[in-house]
Chain A
Amino acid sequence: MSKSSILYGIFCLLVVGGFTYATMNGFSPFAQGGTRGFVRTAAYGPTHK
Chain B
Amino acid sequence: MSDAPSTVRALSCTHCGGTISLRAAGYTVSLICEHCGTTLDATDPDLRIIAQATAAMRVPLIPLGTRAEIRGTAWEVVGYLEKSDGGDGWAEYLLFNPYQGYAFLLDDGRRFSIGFLLDRLPGYDWGALQLDGEGYKRFGTRYATWVKFVVGEFYWRVAEGEKVRVSDYVRPGKMISCEENDTERTWTRLFMLDWGEAEKAFGIEPRRREYSTPSPHEPSPYRDKMVEAVILGAIAAVTLLLIAMMGGGSTRAASAEMQVAIGGAPVTQVVRGIEFPGRNTAVRIGARANQLDNSWIELDYSLVNRRTQASFDASSVAERYSGRDSDGAWSEGDTTPNIKLSSIPPGTYDLVVEASGHRWAPGGSNNSFTGNAGIFSSLAVENTVIPVEIEVARGGMFGGNVLLGLILLLLWPAYAIFRHYGFEARRLMPVSEDDDE
Chain A residues with a Cβ under 8 A of chain B: 1-2, 4-5, 8-9, 11-13, 15-16, 18-20, 22-37, 39-48
What's the Cα separation between A7 and B235 when bound, in Å? 15
B239 touches A31 (CB 8 A): no
Looking at the complex, which one of A9, A20, A30, A41 makes contact with B243 (CB distance below 8 Å)?
A: A20
What's the Cα separation between A19 and B298 when bound, in Å? 33
B187 within 8 A of A: no
Pick the 10 closest A-B CB pairs, nearest first. Answer: A26-B282, A33-B314, A30-B400, A34-B341, A31-B342, A28-B398, A34-B342, A12-B236, A5-B228, A35-B343
Which residue in chain A gives the minimum CB-CB distance to B297?
A44
B308 CB → nearest A CB, Å: 13
A36 CB → nearest B CB, Å: 6
A8 touches B229 (CB 8 A): yes
B224 CB → nearest A CB, Å: 7
A31 touches B360 (CB 8 A): no
Chain B residues with a Cβ under 8 A of chain A: 224-225, 228-229, 232-233, 235-236, 239-240, 243-244, 247, 279-283, 296, 298, 301, 303, 312-317, 319, 321, 323, 325, 330, 332-333, 339-345, 358, 360, 369, 394-402, 404-405, 408-409, 412
Task: List the B side residues contacting A34 at CB < 8 Å.
Answer: 282-283, 312, 314, 340-344
What's the Cα separation between A34 and B409 when bound, in Å? 26
Could you list 16 examples of A-B contacts with CB < 8 Å?
Answer: A4-B229, A5-B228, A8-B228, A12-B233, A16-B405, A19-B244, A26-B396, A27-B282, A28-B343, A28-B398, A33-B313, A34-B341, A35-B345, A43-B317, A44-B317, A48-B325
B401 touches A32 (CB 8 A): no
Q: Evaluate whether A19 and B240 lie within 8 angstroms (CB atoms) in the complex, with A32-B341, A37-B342, A48-B330 already known.
A: yes
A26 CB → nearest B CB, Å: 3
Task: List the A side residues contacting B281 at CB < 8 Å.
Answer: 25-26
B343 touches A15 (CB 8 A): no
Which residue in chain A gives the minimum CB-CB distance to B311?
A33
B357 CB → nearest A CB, Å: 11
B332 touches A46 (CB 8 A): yes
Q: Evaluate whether A25 and B343 lie within 8 angstroms (CB atoms) in the complex, with A16-B243, A16-B405, A30-B398 already known.
A: yes
Which residue in chain B gives the minimum CB-CB distance to A38?
B342
Task: List the A side residues contacting B232 at CB < 8 Å.
Answer: 5, 8-9, 12
Q: Is the interface of A mostly helix, strand, loop or mixed?
A: loop
B400 touches A28 (CB 8 A): yes
Task: List the A side residues contacting B224 at CB < 8 Å.
Answer: 2
A26 touches B236 (CB 8 A): no
B181 CB → nearest A CB, Å: 45
What's the Cα separation between A46 and B319 when bound, in Å? 9
A26 touches B319 (CB 8 A): no
Q: Evaluate whether A1 and B228 lie within 8 angstroms (CB atoms) in the complex, with A19-B240, A48-B321 already known.
A: yes
What's the Cα separation between A2 and B340 when bound, in Å? 42
What's the Cα separation between A49 and B323 when bound, in Å? 11
Looking at the complex, which one of A24, A32, A46 makes contact with B316 (CB distance below 8 Å)?
A: A32
What's the Cα separation between A25 and B339 when bound, in Å? 17
What's the Cα separation between A39 and B229 when bound, in Å? 32
Q: Evaluate whether A15 and B282 lie within 8 angstroms (CB atoms) in the complex, with A30-B400, A44-B296 already known.
A: no
Task: List the A side residues contacting B398 at CB < 8 Å.
Answer: 22, 28, 30-31
Q: Evaluate whether A16 and B340 lie within 8 angstroms (CB atoms) in the complex, with A5-B225, A23-B247 already known.
A: no
A2 CB → nearest B CB, Å: 5
What's the Cα separation between A20 and B402 when bound, in Å? 10
Task: List the A side residues contacting B282 at CB < 8 Å.
Answer: 26-28, 31, 34
Which residue in chain B gives the minimum CB-CB distance to A3?
B225
Looking at the complex, which one of B233, B314, B396, B409 makes contact with A32 (CB distance below 8 Å)?
A: B314
Q: Evaluate whether A48 and B323 lie within 8 angstroms (CB atoms) in the complex, with A25-B343, A31-B341 already known.
A: yes
